[in-house]
Amino acid sequence: MDFIILDDCMTDNILTCEQNDVDSANDYLAKMAAGFGLSENEVKIPCGDTVRRLGIMKAYQVRALAMVGSDTTVMMDGRRSEDIYLQKYNLYTNAIKEMTAGIDYSDFAVDGTSGSGKGGIGIIHLSRA
């Protein structure tokens, strides 16, 4: 199921996504839709803007993770925290967490899909003090 395509991932000036990044993002979105109890014929393709943006961010997150450690400018002084790919990974990870907190089945479903049994499993973030 293709929620996004490679051409959708052309907005980051540092990261260049590859097809396998897009495939991972599409798998992530398909699992998310299934987690809401949607069957394949209940999933809206082409997807809405919210799901599309989430998929693009996921593809960039996957690419950033693959690139962590390859920023040659960091190796000069050995400071890992300045790795631009690590910064990008953290940026996309946080953005995905924020976006997924507000997503429900209706963002994935075709119009008219019944909400019965489509709640999914909620995630409760716990902090340990």
pLDDT (tens, 9 = 90+) of the chain, 129 residues, equals 899 999 998 989 999 999 999 999 999 999 999 888 888 888 988 998 999 999 999 999 999 999 987 776 665 555 555 788 889 999 999 999 999 998 988 888 887 666 555 555 444 455 565
Burial 33-69 (b: 16+ CB within 10 A, else e): beebbbeeebbbeebeeebebbbbbbbbbbbbbbbbe
Please tell me the predicted confidence (pLDDT) of residue 39. 85
